[in-house]
Amino acid sequence: MKSPLKKVEDEKALLEKISLAIPGFRGYKLKEMRREADRLIRDHLYRRLSNAKSGMREAFQQLAQRRAMDVLEEADRVVARLDRVAEQVNHAPAGYAGFFNAVKVHEEALERLIEFDSRLIDSAVKIEGDVMKFRDELRGGGLGDVEKRLGEIRGAVEDFERTFSERKEVMMWVQF
């Protein structure tokens, strides 16, 4: 999987590639591409988590229709946590966009942040997939071990939330 930064770099027009050769312009342009990559990453994370939240709401409705009262409260907690985490991602600081004017940015720290966010994407994709699989199983009439599945999804969301909160520490490296 290409990193988001690599995707942005690959999509530049020929004129932009030439302009990167102009002294002083290259650093500015690379920073702009990193800003764009950061925005794309956060938007992607938000969409994945929002999709998972929607899927979890559908699963909750399936459980409510089946009157699975023993797991409804846990399912509701998972929906609420997905909502909270998705909004944390949506309203997270805009990466390092504001740091370019006043603070010297360390390129290694920027690369570390992008790699960190790439791992978050993998986690969000897994959460979304697990929720959709759970929802589809419920749609198909299966109940299986609902408590176990809800616990696994909740655990994955908690892990994502914990990892996402570590992003602040990674961003501190970008600032100094």
Mean of pLDDT over the chain? 79
Measured distance CA(111)–CA(88) in Å, rounded = 22
| pLDDT tens-place string over residues 55-69 | 999 999 999 998 988
Flag whether the pTM goes above 0.85.
no
Q: How is the chain split into domains, by residue range?
A: 45-175
User: Does 70 have pLDDT greater than 80?
Assistant: yes
Q: Are 6 and 115 in contact (CB under 8 A)?
A: no
Q: Are 37 and 21 in contact (CB under 8 A)?
A: no
User: Does 100 have pLDDT greater than 50?
Assistant: no
User: Does 168 have pLDDT greater than 80?
Assistant: no
| pLDDT tens-place string over residues 115-154 | 778 789 999 999 999 999 999 999 988 777 889 999 999 9
The pLDDT assigned to 17 comes to 58
User: Does 27 have pLDDT greater than 80?
Assistant: no
> Which tokens go with 131?
């929720």
The arithmetic mean of pLDDT across residues 103-119, rounded, is 69
| Inter-CA distances, 21 with 15, 35, 36, Å | 10, 20, 20
CA-atom Rg of the chain in angstroms: 20
| pLDDT tens-place string over residues 31-50 | 677 677 778 888 999 999 99
The pLDDT assigned to 36 comes to 76
Q: Which residue has the higher pLDDT, 52 or 37?
A: 52
Block residue for tokens 């966010």: 117
Closest Cα to residue 62, out of 140, 145, 152, 154?
140
The pLDDT assigned to 13 comes to 55
Q: Give the least confident one: 72-76, 94-98, 101-105, 160-164.
A: 101-105
Measured distance CA(44)–CA(119) in Å, rounded = 12
